Amino acid sequence: MSTGRIGKAWAVLGTVLDPEVPALSVRDLGIVRDVVEPAEGGELEIVLTPTYSGCPATEVIEQGVLEAIAQAGIGPARVRLQRAPAWTSDWISEEGRRKLRDYGIAPPGGTAPDATVPLRFVGRREAALACPRCASTDTERLSAFGSTACKALYRCRACREPFEHFKPI
């Protein structure tokens, strides 16, 4: 990573928070795919990959990124949305996973399932998920969907607390 404008841009992106999961920066979330230096003092190009097709936070994130770059005095900049390769929760950094846990959200465990592998509808068992509060694995899923597109709802049987899980996708 360079220490020039690009290096500064990456550092600034580490301070732009996801509006729906404000424990994570957009860098922790893995949606910043590249920062491209312009030819001569032109616009920095910041390449973002959205998490979900319908994620309503995408536009707010774009705006937040541009404002932060402008405030740091390293603008002008523009955002380019890149669909492929598709975002996966595997791109959430180790640091991001730790922050999620501290925030009370169980991070995605293991690697995301390969979407082309045939589904199992019979005798399927969910992998045990550790409660982000008491670390017990005696937990159960309440709902496959949660308060945002990226989360599911769980409950810990040991400490009786409900918690959210960042879906592996």
Partner 1 sequence: MQPSIRVDPDPGVQYVLRIGDTCLILGQRLGEWCGHAPVLEEDIAMANMALDLVGQARALLTHAGQMRGQGYDEDQLAFLRDERDYRNLTLVELPRGDFAFTVVRNAMVAGFLRHLWAALQSSSDTELAAIAGKAIKEARYHQQHAADWIVRLGDGTGESRRRTEAALASAWLYMPEFFDSDAVDDAAAESGLGPRWADLRDAWLADMTAILDEAGLAMPAEAAFRSTGKRGVHSEHMGYVLTEMQYLQRAYPGGVW
Residues that bind partner 1 (CB under 8 A): 50, 52-56, 83-88, 112-113, 115-116, 118-119, 121-122, 142-147, 149, 153, 167, 169
Least Å distance, CB 97 to partner 1, is 19
Within 10 angstroms of residue 43's Cβ, the number of other Cβ atoms is: 13
Nearest residue (CB) to partner 1, 25 versus 51: 51
Query: Taking CA 94 as the corner, what is the angle to CA 91 and CA 97, rounded to the nearest 5 degrees?
Result: 85
Give per-residue burial for 65-84: e unless 16+ CB within 10 Å, then b. Answer: bbebbeebebbebebeeeee
Least Å distance, CB 87 to partner 1, is 7
Nearest residue (CB) to partner 1, 40 versus 83: 83
Nearest residue (CB) to partner 1, 1 versus 122: 122
Contacts of 154 (CB under 8 A, 6+ apart): 106, 129, 131, 139, 140, 141, 142, 162, 163, 164, 165
Nearest residue (CB) to partner 1, 12 versus 89: 89
Least Å distance, CB 119 to partner 1, is 6
Least Å distance, CB 66 to partner 1, is 20
Tokens of 95: 């640091």
